[in-house]
Amino acid sequence: MRPSTLNRRTFLRGAGGACLALPLLDIMHGCDSPTAGVLPQQFRGKGGPKRFVVFWTPNGTIMKDWRPSGSADAYTFGRILQPLEPHKQDVLVLDGVDELSAYKGPGDAHQKGTGQGLTGTELQEGDFAGADGLSAGWADGISVDQAIADAIGNDTKFRSLEFGVHVYGANVGSRISYRGPAQPIPPENDPTAAFDRIFGDLESDPAAQARKIAERKIVLDAVADDYQRLIKKVGAADKIKLDAHLAAVRDIEMRLETGSTIGGACQPPVLGDIADPSKVGNIPATGKLQMDLLAMALACDLTRVASLMWMNSATAKPFPWLDIPEGHHELAHRGDGDADAQEKLTLINIWYCQQFAYLIERLKAIPEGDGTVLDNTLLIWVNEHQKGNDHDRHEIPYVLAGKAAGAMKPGRWLQVEGDVPHNNLLVGCMNAMGLEATTFGNPKYCNGALGLA
Amino acid sequence: MSFSRIVVWAIVAAAAGGCQNGDGGDGATTEGSDSDGTTDGVAVETEGGEAAECKGIEPGPSPIRRMNRREYDNTVRDLLGDDSRPAQSFPTEEEALGFNNNADALVVTSLLAEGYLGAAEDLAEAAVQDLPALLRGCDVKKDGEATCAEKFITEFGRVAYRRPLTADELQQLLAVHQAAADEFDFATGVRLTLTAMLQSPHFLYRVEFGAPMEGDDDVLRLAPYELASRLSYFLWGTMPDAELFAAAAEGRLLEPDDVAEQATRMLADARARATVRDFHGQWLELRRIEELEKDDDAFPGFDPDLRPLLRAEAEEFLDHVIWNDRGDLDAMYLAPYTFLNGELADYYGLDGPSGDGFEKFELPPGRGSGFLTQGGLLSVLAKPNQTSPIHRGKFVRERLLCQVVPPPPDNVDITPPEVDPNLPTRERFKQHSVDPACSGCHGMMDPVGFGFEHFDGIGRWRDIEAGQPIDATGELVGGNTNGTFDGVGELASLLAGSPEVERCMTVQWFRYAYGRADAKEDACTVDDLTQKFAGSGRRIQDLIVALTQSEAFLYRRAPEGK
C-alpha cells in the first residue's frame, strides 16, 4: 500500500463551499459550469451538458452467455449482462454491429480491433510488432470521442479525460483515443496522478486559486512565445512537432480559468490509501477509483468526454481476484470445446459487466435537472473483438447506457441485420451527442448513421 | 570521402503472402492485401560489391529531438541536483523501431505538456528554497535585484539551454522576471523565470541551427555547443558536464578528433555504462522481462520474484563482455559463460554460485551462447505456457539481422496451436510449413526459432519434450545469412560470422544513437560505420566512438520548407 499524498483537509474545507457564482444553479442538484448555459442547444441536456463516455475491455466475449434471449422489448439478459438487471431501462444492448474496417489494413487482429474501434479507419504501416509477424503503426485518424470533444469539450477544464486501469506500454494495443492520425492519447493509470491532475488545482481558497492562475499566465505566455519564435526558424518536419507542443501549451493556458468550484454534487472523492496501481491484484480497487474520479469529473463539469481503458489489447494478465490464474489472452485463444476456458472467460466478462454497472450507478447517483447525469450521458461499452479464439470482429458486443438527453432510447435489445459497419454506430453516437455528422472514419466503411433513438 | 558498395533496398515480399518462397499463391491474396508490400525493406548488398561513390557530405535527416523520460530525469538531476525523477509520472514514450528515443515518435500531448508544467513548477519551487545558492553569490541587497536577476538568467540559462543565451533571449527572460517581480516579488520572479525555462523548447529539445559551411548550402556543421549536447545525450543520456561546456567555449570541440577525444573520455564514466544498459534493455527487449507472466500450470517453477534476477543476469553478462572482456560482437554471441547467483543457479538446475551476488559461471558444454541462451530473453520470446519458435525466429530476423518479416495475409486464423502433451512444439507448428499460405513467411521464422527448442518457455534447458528427444535443428534461408544448424550454439556461430549481423548491430546502434530510423541516404554512413566496426575487431566501445565521427553526427541538413 502506498499512502495517498493528497491533502485531504483541502477538500474537507472545500466541501462546505457552494457554487454561488454560477447561473442555472440548482443548489439541490449538480453544479453546472457557467459555460453549460451558453452551449448550443444540440449539445445541452436537461439541467446540464451532454456527456460521452467510453468503457473499453479487451479479448472479446462469450456470445452464448452475452446475448439476451426473448424479443427486442421483452428480453432476458444472458449470464454476462445479468449485473445490468437493475439498470435494464437504462441500457441498450446493441447486437450485430460489425467492425468491418478492422479487417483491413496493417496490423494483427488485436491491433486493428483496438486501434480501429473508435477511429473506424485503418492503421498506419509501422513497427509495432503484432502476433505472428504482423506489424502496424498508429491509427490513421481521429477517434470518435475526440471528434465529439472537439464539439462539446472546448469550455471545460479538460477537453477530454483518458483513464486507464492496467494499460502498460505505449503502442497501438494500448491506445484507443486519437487526436488525429498517429496522435494517440495516453490514458492515466494512476488514480493519485489522475486525482492531482483533475482536482489538484481546485483550491478552496479563492485567493490561492487566483494567485496560481496569475503565475501560470505569466509562465505559459512566455513559454508559448518561446515556441512561437522557434517555430519560425525550423524546417517543416520540426515545425509539425513544435506546433503540436505549442497547441498543448495554449490549451492549458486557455483553460486556466475554466476550473470548477467544489459544491453541490461536485465533491472530489477522498481517495484514502491507494493500492499500488501497477499490481495486477489491485486492478479492482484501481478501476473503482478511476470510475469514481471519472464520475466526479463529469459531476464537476471539468470534462464532458471521458474514456476508461481497462487493460491492453490482448492482455496476458490473470484475474487472481476471480481465482483465474491464466492470462486473459491465453484463455481467449483456447478452443470452443474447452469448457473450463469458456467458463472462465464468461466469469471475466461478468466481472467487467459488474464494473460497467458500477459506473452506471455512479452516474445515476448524481442528480441533474429532473434526472441524473446518466440521463444526459451516452455511455458505451466497447470490446476489441467479439470472440477471442478466432478474433472475430463481427457482432461486437456493444452495450450502451444513458439517454444522451433523449437522443438515445435505452431499455432495448437492438438487433441489427446484415453487415452494419461499426462506423455507422460511431456516426450514430455523434448524432446522439448533437453533431451533424453523416460519416466517420474511412468513408469506405460507412454507409450512414445507426440511429439510436 | 568514402566509397561504398551499393546497397539495394529490396522489398522482400512484394507479393501478397509470400516471403522468400513467394508461393503463397492466389489463395493468400485477400481483399486486405493492400496492406502488403511493406515500405520497410531489407537491405541486401548486391553480390560482387559493386562500387558506388559516396559523394559529398550526407548527414541524413536531423529531426529536432526531445528528451525522453530518462533524459529528463538525468538532466534535472545534473542541472538542479534534484533526484526525485519527476519524469516517471509523465506518459510512457511512444516507441519506434524498438527504441523509446525516436524523434519521430516523441510527440507532445496535453497530458505531457501538463506534466512538464507541473514538474517545472515543483522543481522551481524546490530550487528557490535556497535562493542564495541559485543566485550563486549575488547579493540582492548589495548588488541590486536587476543585477542578480540578469546574472541568474545568464548563468542558469547557459546550462539549462546548454549554450550561452542570445541577447534577445536574455531580454525576454528578464521581461518574465520583471513581470513576476512587479506583480509579486523578486523570489517569485526567479521562480517563474525558472519555471518558464524548464518548459522552453531550448531545454526540452535539442535545438540545432548548425554553422554554415563554405561552398555547401545544403549541409551545416554542428556548432560546438550542439556537439557537446549530442555527445552528452548519446553517451550519458543527460546534459553536458563542465568539461564539455568548457571544451565548447574554448574552441576545443571543433574537429572530429576533438569529438572522439571527448567520447573516449566519456566512455570511461559510469554514465556511459548506464547508457549501454539502456540500449540493451531496448534492443534485446530486456525491459520486457519485468512484465513477464507465466502460466502456473505449465511452469510452476516460474516465480515473479525471479524477474529482476533474470534481468540482472543479462545485464551483468553484457556489462562484463563490453567493459571487462573482449568487448566484441563475438563475445556477446558466443561466450560460453553467464552470470548467476544462488537463486538463479537453482532455477536453472545448475551447480553454480550459492550467494546472492552474481558470479561468472561457465555453462556446461554446448549450453552457453552469450545473450542468446539466457533465461530472461528466452522467456520474453515465449508464450505463457509454451515456447514460441515464431517469436524467437522473428527476433533473430528483426533484431539481429535487421530484416523485416512482412505481415501474413489478412483474415487467416493466427491462433497458435494448443499445447498437446503428446506432441512436441515442432510437430504442432507443422501447418506452417505444409500450408502454402503460411510457409512463405513462417519459413523465415519457425525454422530459426526451432533452434532454441532446448530452452523451454521460461528459458530452462530441456532434453525431452512430450516424451521425445528435442530436435533443435533449424535453417536460415532467404537473406544473405544462410545455413543449417543444430541448436543455438551453431546458430550463434552462423550469426556471429555473418556480415549481415555485423551491419545490423551497427544499424541498431545508429538508430539508438541518432534517435531516428536509418534512411536511404544514410547508406554510406552505415557502410562506413560497419567497416569501422569490423576493422576494430567488432568492439562495441569502438563502434560507439565511431558513431560520434560520422557525417550523421557531425553535420546536419539545412532545414527544408522553412
**What is the number of other CB atoms lying within 10 angstroms of the CB of residue A175?**
27
* Single-letter residue type at A29: H
**What is the number of other CB atoms lying within 10 angstroms of the CB of residue A425?**
27
Question: Distance (Å, rounded) from C-alpha A308 to C-alpha A198?
Answer: 15
**Strand-strand pairing, A91-98 and A412-421:** parallel
Q: Which of B34, B199, B407 sits opposite A133 (nearest CB)?
A: B407
Sorted by where each begins, the domain ranges of chain B are 65-206, 276-409+420-496
> Is residue A451 in a domain?
no
Span A316-361, pLDDT tens digits? 888 999 999 888 988 998 888 899 999 999 999 999 999 999 999 9
Q: And the C-alpha cell for B73? A: 530525469
DSSP bridge pairs for A164? A309
Residue B486 has pLDDT above 80, yes or no: yes
Q: What is the ipTM of this complex?
A: 0.87
Q: Which of B39, B111, B200 sits opposite A226 (nearest CB)?
A: B200
Question: Distance (Å, rounded) from C-alpha B392 to C-alpha B399?
Answer: 10
In percent, the amount of chain B with pLDDT more than 70 equals 88
> Is residue A177 in a domain?
no
Chain A residues whose CB is inside 8 A of the B97 CB are 127
Question: Distance (Å, rounded) from C-alpha A384 to C-alpha A367?
Answer: 32
Residue A270 has pLDDT above 90, yes or no: no
DSSP state of A125: P
Span B126-168, pLDDT tens digits? 999 999 999 998 999 999 999 999 999 999 999 999 999 999 9
Q: Which of B109, B120, B394 sits opposite A186 (nearest CB)?
A: B109
Residue B50 has pLDDT above 90, yes or no: no
pLDDT of residue A31: 43
Question: Distance (Å, rounded) from C-alpha A328 to C-alpha A330?
Answer: 6
Question: Distance (Å, rounded) from C-alpha B1 to C-alpha B55?
Answer: 7
Residues B493-509, mean pLDDT to the nearest whole number: 96
Pick A381 or A131 by higher pLDDT: A381
> Residue B533 — pLDDT band, cuts 50, 70, 90?
very high
Q: And the C-alpha cell for A338? A: 474447452
Among B190, B167, B160, residue whose Cα is nearest residue B75: B160
Let me know whether A218 and A123 are in one domain: no
- C-alpha distance from B110 to closest chain A C-alpha (Å): 5
Pick B53 or A78 by higher pLDDT: A78
- Are B42 and B89 in contact by the 8 Å Cβ rule? The answer is no
On whether any CB of chain A is under 8 Å from the CB of B200, the answer is yes
Let me know whether A416 and A349 are in one domain: yes
**What is the number of other CB atoms lying within 10 angstroms of the CB of residue A339?**
9
Residue B202 has pLDDT above 50, yes or no: yes
Residue of A nearest to B38 (CA): A125
- C-alpha distance from A72 to closest chain B C-alpha (Å): 32
> Residue B479 — pLDDT band, cuts 50, 70, 90?
confident
Which residue do the cell numbers 528557490 mark? B128
In percent, the amount of chain A with pLDDT more than 70 equals 90
pLDDT of residue A274: 84
Span B259-273, pLDDT tens digits? 999 999 999 999 999
Residue B518 has pLDDT above 70, yes or no: yes
- Are B37 and B407 in contact by the 8 Å Cβ rule? The answer is no
Sign, CA torsion B298/B300/B306/B312: negative
Q: And the C-alpha cell for B442? A: 513462417
pLDDT of residue A204: 61
Residue B44 has pLDDT above 50, yes or no: no
Let me know whether A273 and A158 are in one domain: yes
Q: Between chains, do B415 and A183 touch, taking CB under 8 Å as contact?
A: no
Residues A62-91, mean pLDDT to the nearest whole number: 96
pLDDT of residue B407: 55
pTM summary value: 0.81
> Is residue A223 in a domain?
yes
> Residue B406 — pLDDT band, cuts 50, 70, 90?
low
Question: Distance (Å, rounded) from C-alpha B167 to C-alpha B149?
Answer: 14
Helix (H, G, I), strand (E, B) or coil at A44: strand
DSSP bridge pairs for B53? B3
DSSP state of B415: P
Let me know whether A154 and A89 are in one domain: yes
Residue A377 has pLDDT above 50, yes or no: yes
Question: Distance (Å, rounded) from C-alpha A69 to C-alpha A75?
Answer: 5
Question: Distance (Å, rounded) from C-alpha B168 to C-alpha B163?
Answer: 14
Let me know whether A245 and A334 are in one domain: no
Q: At a CB cut-off of 8 Å and minimum separation 6, what does A191 contact?
A: A271, A274, A277, A286, A289, A290, A293
DSSP bridge pairs for B99? B96
> Is residue A3 in a domain?
no
> Residue B415 — pLDDT band, cuts 50, 70, 90?
low
> Residue B70 — pLDDT band, cuts 50, 70, 90?
very high
Let me know whether A321 and A406 are in one domain: yes
Q: How many CA atoms lie within 13 A of B501 on its CB side?
A: 20
Average the pLDDT over each of A256-270, B213-227, B504-518 and give the range with the smallest value. Answer: A256-270
Chain B residues whose CB is inside 8 A of the A159 CB are 110
On whether any CB of chain A is under 8 Å from the CB of B35, the answer is yes
Q: Which of B410, B428, B439, B444 is most worth mutating to test chain A (most A CB atoms within 10 A of its CB)?
A: B410
Q: Between chains, do A244 and B107 touch, taking CB under 8 Å as contact?
A: yes
Pick A73 or B237 by higher pLDDT: B237
Let me know whether A233 and A347 are in one domain: no
On whether any CB of chain A is under 8 Å from the CB of B258, the answer is no
On whether any CB of chain A is under 8 Å from the CB of B338, the answer is no
> Is residue A450 in a domain?
no
Pick A16 or A103 by higher pLDDT: A103
> Is residue A366 in a domain?
yes
DSSP state of B399: I
Residue A104 has pLDDT above 80, yes or no: yes
Average the pLDDT over each of A77-86, A109-118, A130-139, B28-37 and give the range with the smallest value. Answer: B28-37
Q: Between chains, do B200 and A223 touch, taking CB under 8 Å as contact?
A: yes
Q: Which of B201, B296, B410 sits opposite A230 (nearest CB)?
A: B201
Residue A434 has pLDDT above 70, yes or no: yes
Q: Is A144 exposed, middle or buried (0-12, 13-18, 19+ CB in 10 A)?
A: buried
> Is residue A20 in a domain?
yes
B136-149 burial, b if ≥16 CB within 10 A, otherwise e? eebebeeeebeebb
Let me know whether A250 and A281 are in one domain: no
- Are B405 and B19 in contact by the 8 Å Cβ rule? The answer is yes
Mean pLDDT score of chain B, rounded to an integer?
87
pLDDT of residue A30: 41
Containing structural domain, residue A221:
203-258
On whether any CB of chain A is under 8 Å from the CB of B394, the answer is yes
Residue A92 has pLDDT above 90, yes or no: yes
CATH number at residue A27: 3.40.720.10
Let me know whether A214 and A298 are in one domain: no
Q: And the C-alpha cell for A62? A: 462469450
Q: And the C-alpha cell for A409? A: 432510447
Let me know whether A75 and A145 are in one domain: yes
Let me know whether A356 and A253 are in one domain: no
B172-206 burial, b if ≥16 CB within 10 A, otherwise e? bbbebbebbbeebebebbbbbbbbbbbbbbbbbbb
**What is the number of other CB atoms lying within 10 angstroms of the CB of residue B157?**
23
The beta strand positions in A78-144, using DSSP E, are 91-98, 128-129, 135-136
Q: How many domains does chain A have?
A: 2
Q: And the C-alpha cell for A229? A: 519564435
- C-alpha distance from B197 to closest chain A C-alpha (Å): 8
pLDDT of residue B32: 28
Q: And the C-alpha cell for B138? A: 549575488
Let me know whether A100 and A215 are in one domain: no
> Is residue A452 in a domain?
no
pLDDT of residue A20: 27
Span B2-29, pLDDT tens digits? 333 333 233 233 223 335 443 333 333 2
